[in-house]
Amino acid sequence: MGAGIKVEKLNAYFGNTQALHGIDLEVSANHATAIIGPSGCGKSTFIRCINRMHETNPIARAEGKVMIGNTDIYGNGTTPVEVRRRIGMVFQKANPFPTMTIYDNVASGLKLNGFSDHKQMDEVWRRR
């Protein structure tokens, strides 16, 4: 995945309710961009679509095109895990995996990226 984000005609739904309507946006590489607006206007839904988190809700779906560099993040062969490795999200509140221990929550990113050295994971966990 290269740099820069281009969003074309992005629509997002929760069941039959449309939350985003035809969003078009280009974000230049290596720039900070703020998404601002009143509560309930779709900011978080939009960002969740860019991170492929929107689809984790079983009644949610997104339509349109989101390009990260030359990669269509909703295209065939692009997995959510691949996208999330490059597009992070910081939540307002801590959002751990509820069925996992604190240790497993901290170590999950390392495991996802191929780390299997338990001594190294223990060191990272202690630094948390």
pLDDT digits (tens, 9 = 90+) for 104-119: 888 888 887 888 888 8
Task: Calculate helix-pair angle for 102-112, 118-127, nearest 10 degrees.
Answer: 120
Average pLDDT, the chain: 87
Burial of 78 (0-12, 13-18, 19+ CB in 10 A): middle
- Write the DSSP string, 4-53: -EEEEEEEEEETTEEEEEEEEEEE-TT--------TTSSHHHHHHHHTT-
Residue 119: which H helix or E strand, with range? helix 118-127
- Residue 2 above 50 pLDDT? no
- Residue 86 above 70 pLDDT? yes
Question: In this structure, which amino acid lies at residue 7?
Answer: V
The whole-number pLDDT of residue 123 equals 85
Q: Which of 5-9, 52-56, 82-86, 94-98 has the lowest mean pLDDT?
A: 94-98
**3-class DSSP state of 75:** coil
- Residue 124 above 70 pLDDT? yes
- Which of residues 56 and 2 earns the better pLDDT score? 56
Q: Which of 92-96, 100-104, 115-119 has the lowest mean pLDDT?
A: 92-96
Alpha carbons 118 and 108: distance in angstroms, whole number: 12
Question: In this structure, which amino acid lies at residue 32?
Answer: A
Mean pLDDT calculated for residue range 43-59: 91
